[in-house]
Homo-oligomer: A and B are copies of this chain.
Amino acid sequence: MSEKKSKFHCPVEATLSQIGGKYKMIILCHLIHDGTLRYNEIQKHIPQATAKMLVQQLKELESDGLINRKVYPVVPPKTEYSITERGKSLTEVIDSIRDWGRNYMSGTFE
Looking at A11, A12, A16, A109, the one whose CB has the most chain B CB atoms below 10 A away is A12
Interface contact A15-B98, CB-CB below 8 Å: yes
Interface secondary structure of A, over-half rule: helix
Determine the distance from Cα of A79 to Cα of B47 in the docked complex, in whole angstroms: 42
Number of copies of this chain that the complex holds: 2
Contact residues in B for A94 (Cβ distance below 8 Å) = 12
Q: Mark A40-55, 1 if CB is under 8 A from B, else 0.
A: 0000011110000000
A93 at the interface (CB under 8 A from B): yes
Q: List 29 A-B contacts (CB under 8 A).
A: A8-B101, A9-B47, A10-B29, A10-B30, A11-B98, A11-B99, A11-B100, A11-B101, A11-B104, A11-B105, A12-B26, A12-B94, A12-B97, A13-B26, A14-B102, A14-B104, A14-B105, A15-B97, A15-B100, A15-B101, A15-B104, A16-B25, A16-B97, A16-B101, A65-B109, A89-B100, A89-B109, A92-B100, A96-B96
